[in-house]
Chain A
Amino acid sequence: MNNRLRVLRAERGWSQADLAEKLEVSRQSVNAIETGRYDPSLPLAFRIARLFGASIEAIFQEEEQR
């Protein structure tokens, strides 16, 4: 699954540590999601979407849709 997490984070000038703190997860988790090595659960995806004020689909896309 692809995602726009790194772009959205950069737009706000947040570091990975900043985002990890806001999501209450480790920086390893943020890095794994950003690099596509880990797909978050639905609850975490909702938390991410709420934080960026966007829908889940606007942040996460299936690979073939890209």
Chain B
Amino acid sequence: MFCKDKTPAFKRYQRRVQVAMAAYFVVILSAAWVVKHGSLVGWKLYFWSVLPAVPIIAVIVGMARYLAEETDEFQRLIVTRALLMGTAALLGTLEVSDFLRSFANIDPFPPFTCFVIFAVTFGITNFVQKLKNKVPADE
């Protein structure tokens, strides 16, 4: 969706993602500092380790809310396709990683690889669809 043609649901989704990402940067920097300097063990270490995932989960929930709130069915279809492509890439990567671990005793992929693959595939698919559906000047 190009800037001049955002639906109200998409604007709400963008606001939520901006808030979640701002929270993410605050939390990830705080967690990195606390874990490095806090000598944490036990539940405190688990708490600070899991905390950065919360804003990311909020982004995923934001996507789900967008799909539920979007009344423009064509725009919803575009985002749904991108989510499916991202999910397919994510699951494919997990499968490859799991089989490599099972049969070849290879170490698992580095942390966050799967989510990055999901996000990149989602973004590329969304972008390609926007280009394909770019509207000419109005008649």
Give A residues with C-beta under 8 Å from B: 10, 15-17, 24-29, 31-33, 37-38, 40-41, 44
Contact = CB atoms under 8 A, between A and B. Distances in A.
Question: Taking chain B's interface residues, is the majority helix, strand, or loop, or is none over half, making it mixed?
Answer: loop
A28 B73 contact: no
Contact of A31 (B75, B77, B135): B135
B107 interface: no
A38 B75 CA distance: 11
Contacts, number: 47
Contact of A16 (B2, B74, B133, B138): B138
Interface string B72-110: 111101000000000000000000000000000000000
A26 B74 contact: yes
A27 B133 contact: no
A29 B138 contact: no
B88 to A, nearest CB: 22
Nearest to A15: B138
B1 interface: yes
Interface string B44-73: 000000000000000000000000000111
B48 to A, nearest CB: 42
A7 to B, nearest CB: 12
